[in-house]
Amino acid sequence: MPSPTIGVFALQGDVREHLVALRSLGVDAIAVRRPVELDACDGLVLPGGESTTMAKLARTFELLEPLRERIRQGMPAFGTCAGMILLADRLEDGAPGQETLGGLDITVRRNAFGRQVDSFEGDLDFDGFDAPVHAVFIRAPWVEAVGPGVETLATVPSGPAVGRIVAVRQGQLMATSFHPEVGTDHRVHGTFVDLVRQAR
């Protein structure tokens, strides 16, 4: 079977790092700015960035409803940081009127880690991996609550936020609070690529 095409939402956010990570895993990775580009995708990454800006731009560029529709139809999607916010059905501390795409039955708290530990890194256990993942958090959200169909893939191992959920999966949707595209360990993207291959 030919390799899948995985898009990276590219109206705002750290697009390039995701394209590099996906290409290193042997998939065709394309930047998605228009509905026709979305049509070509078997799966989509929603990168980190600024979630309110991303949602506004998606609406302006007429990508918001097509994205919602594809997610409803079962397209695999992977949100990192701001992308996790976009995939959440419910937000805490969202901006007034902030829209999401939804799909994941989770409540996400935006900018959850607060000013003290605004941005930080640490190793955490990730479901199914032998060795921990080095996770980079940048003004990150956490998952405040999960619905019954949602698996927790990783939690914060220590410190003031110990036990907070920072990676989840529900069916063909995945999200992490942290930035797995930073650095050269692409195992988390690998998990998503497997999901896209299975969904095809």
Ligand X SMILES: NC(=O)CC[C@H](N)C(=O)O
Q: Which stretch binds ligand X (CB under 6 A): 2-10, 34-42, 48-56, 58-66?
A: 48-56
Q: Is 186 a catalytic residue?
A: no
Q: Which of 50, 92, 125, 185 binds ligand X (CB under 6 A)?
A: 50
Q: Which stretch binds ligand X (CB under 6 A): 42-50, 60-68, 152-160, 183-191?
A: 42-50
Annotated binding residue 102 = no
To the nearest whole angstrom, how small is the minimum distance from the Cβ of residue 148 to ligand X?
26
Give 3: exposed, middle or buried? Use CB within 10 Å, 0-12, 13-18, 19+: middle
> What does the per-residue mask of binding to ligand X show for 68-87, with x meaning CB under 6 A?
-------------xx--x--
Q: If binding is defined by CB under 6 A, does position 48 make contact with ligand X?
A: yes
Annotated binding residue 30 = no
Q: Is 81 a catalytic residue?
A: yes
Counting residues that bind ligand X (by CB under 6 A) gives 11
To the nearest whole angstrom, how small is the minimum distance from the Cβ of residue 178 to ligand X?
9
To the nearest whole angstrom, how small is the minimum distance from the Cβ of residue 141 to ligand X?
6
Q: Which stretch binds ligand X (CB under 6 A): 22-30, 49-57, 128-136, 157-165?
A: 49-57
Annotated binding residue 138 = yes
Q: Is 69 a catalytic residue?
A: no
Secondary structure, 3-state, the chain: CCCCEEEEECCCCCHHHHHHHHHHCCCEEEEECCHHHHHCCCEEEECCCCHHHHHHHHHHCCCHHHHHHHHHCCCCEEEECHHHHHHEEEEECCCCCCCCCCCEEEEEECCCCCCCCCEEEEEECCCCCCCCEEEEEECCCEEEEECCCCEEEEECCCCCCCCCEEEEEECCEEEECCCCCCCCCCHHHHHHHHHHHHHC
What CA dihedral angle connects 180, 182, 186 and 191, to 10 degrees? Answer: 20
Enzyme catalytic residues: 81, 179, 181
Binding site for ligand X (CB under 6 A): 48-51, 81-82, 85, 110-111, 138-139
